[in-house]
Amino acid sequence: MATVYDFNVKDRTGKEVRLKDYEGKVLLIVNTATGCGFTPHYDPLEKMYAEFRDKDFEILDFPCNQFANQAPGDDDDIHEFCTMKFGTEFPQFAKIDVNGETADPLFEYLATEKPFEGFGKGLKNKALEKFSDMNNKTFGDKAYIRWNFTKFLVDRSGKVVKRFEPTVPMDEVRKEVEKMIFEK
């Protein structure tokens, strides 16, 4: 049975990283963007990372520009923005595609393990779903991720246990992360 540990990714300098190197840790894997309405999620993400990184917790940040071109710039520009504006210290990887023929295999796997189930109720969420549908039409059956700041929680054995759409409040994400970290 496949786990996230079966995948290799590239760090922001282009060096290959084996996700197996994170074995035994709780992971929160996120596709991000610097110009998105959800970009402020970096703040609670960094707070969570600062608090729990010494408890075998990692956030893996994968910038993506497939949603209304909200992650312009190269990997260095994105990294500088995140560290200067939000003080991020968690690992940031090379910019990737999460949808279409060029989708990174890791995100194809994550989304296959935990498919999209909706953004939730409310006018803003319905509006995002409509906009997302238009944006992702070009990806057809390879529209794995619906918007920036989709988060996947992975347990210590590498199994994907939960998917959080960007509309899920960050305090709910944190509660699930805490449960996973302190569950023995």
Q: Residue 156: CB partners within 8 Å, gap ≥ 6? A: 23, 24, 25, 26, 56
Q: Which domain holds residue 23?
A: 4-182
Cα angle 82, 67, 148 (rounded to 5 degrees) comes to: 50
Residue in 19, 33, 36, 111 annotated catalytic: 36
Query: What's the domain count of the chain?
Result: 1
3-class state of residue 32 by DSSP: strand
The predicted pLDDT at position 69 comes to 86
Evaluate whether 164 touches 151 at the Cβ level (below 8 Å): yes
Q: How many CA atoms lie within 13 A of 87 on its CB side?
A: 7
Largest CA distance in the chain: 43
CATH number of residue 87's parent domain: 3.40.30.10
For the stretch 60-92, pLDDT in tens is 999 999 998 889 888 899 999 999 999 999 999
Sign of the alpha-carbon torsion through 50, 86, 167, 133:
negative
Which residue in 56, 81, 50 sits closest to 182, CA to CA? 56
Contact (CB, 8 A) for 58 and 90: yes
Position 164 scores a pLDDT of 98
Ranges in the chain, pLDDT < 50: none
Cα separation, 171 vs 184, whole angstroms: 22
Sign of CA dihedral 154, 116, 149, 112: positive
23 Cβ contact partners less than 8 Å away, ≥ 6 residues apart: 5, 156, 158
Torsion, Cα of 5, 31, 40, 25 (10° steps): 0
Is 36 annotated as catalytic? yes
